[in-house]
Chain A
Amino acid sequence: MTDLILHNICKAYGEKTVLRDFSHTFPAGKRTCIMGPSGCGKTTLLRIILGLETQDRGTMTGRPERVSAVFQENRLFEDFSALSNLAAVCHHGDKQIMEAHLTELGLGDSLHKPVRTLSGGMKRRVAIARAVLAPGELMILDEPFTGLDQDTKKIVLDYLKHHTQGRTLLVVTHDPAERDALADEVLDMSPVPEGG
Chain B
Amino acid sequence: MDRTPSFLQQHKQTFQRVGAVLLAILVWQVLAMAVGHQLLVPSPLSVLERLAGIWLEAGFWSTVWFTFRKIVAGFLLGLALGLGLGSLAGRFPLFEILFRPWAVMVKSVPVASFIVICLIWMSSARLSIFISFLMVLPIVYTNVLQSIRSVDRQMLEAVQIFRLPWAKRVLYLWLPQMKPYLISACSVGLGISWKAGIAAEIIGIPSGSIGQMFYDAKVYFNTTDLFTWTIIVVVVSVLFEKGFLALLKWLYGRLEKL
Contacts and interface: CB of A to CB of B under 8 A. Distances in A.
Contact of B258 (A50, A51, A78, A80): A80
A80 B256 contact: yes
A68 B256 contact: no
B256 A114 contact: yes
Nearest to B161: A69
A112 B163 CA distance: 24
What is the size category of the interface that chain B forms with chain A? 10 to 19
Contacts, number: 47
A66 B256 contact: no
B191 interface: no
B161 to A, nearest CB: 5
Contact of B164 (A69, A81, A89, A112): A89
Interface string B152-180: 00110110111110001001110010010
A50 B179 CA distance: 30
Nearest to A116: B256
Contacts of B173: 77
Interface in A56-112: 66-69, 71, 73, 75, 77-81, 84, 88-89, 112
Contacts of A80: 172, 176, 256, 258
A50 B162 contact: no
Nearest to A130: B162
A188 B83 CA distance: 50
Interface residues of A, number: 22
Given A71-B154, A84-B258, A114-B256, A77 B161 contact: no
Contact of A77 (B157, B176, B257): B176
Contacts of B157: 52, 71, 75
Contacts of A69: 158, 161
Contacts of A73: 154
A134 interface: yes
A73 B258 CA distance: 24
A66 to B, nearest CB: 7
Nearest to A112: B257
A130 to B, nearest CB: 8
B258 A75 contact: no
Contact of B161 (A68, A81, A112, A114): A68
A89 B158 CA distance: 10
A69 B162 CA distance: 8
Contact of A75 (B154, B176, B179): B154
B172 A77 contact: yes
Contact of B158 (A66, A75, A79): A75
A134 B256 contact: no
Nearest to B256: A79
B158 to A, nearest CB: 4
A73 B157 CA distance: 12
A128 B172 CA distance: 18
Interface string A109-132: 000101000000000000000100
Nearest to A134: B162
A130 B161 CA distance: 12
Contacts of B168: 88
Given A52-B157, A80-B258, 15 more contacts: A50-B161, A51-B161, A69-B161, A71-B157, A75-B158, A77-B155, A77-B172, A77-B173, A77-B176, A80-B176, A84-B258, A88-B164, A89-B162, A89-B164, A112-B257
14 contacts: A52-B157, A52-B160, A69-B158, A71-B157, A73-B154, A75-B154, A75-B155, A78-B176, A79-B179, A79-B256, A80-B172, A84-B256, A88-B162, A89-B164
Interface of B: 154-155, 157-158, 160-164, 168, 171-173, 176, 179, 256-258
Closest 6 CB pairs of A and B: A75-B158, A89-B162, A77-B172, A79-B176, A79-B256, A88-B172
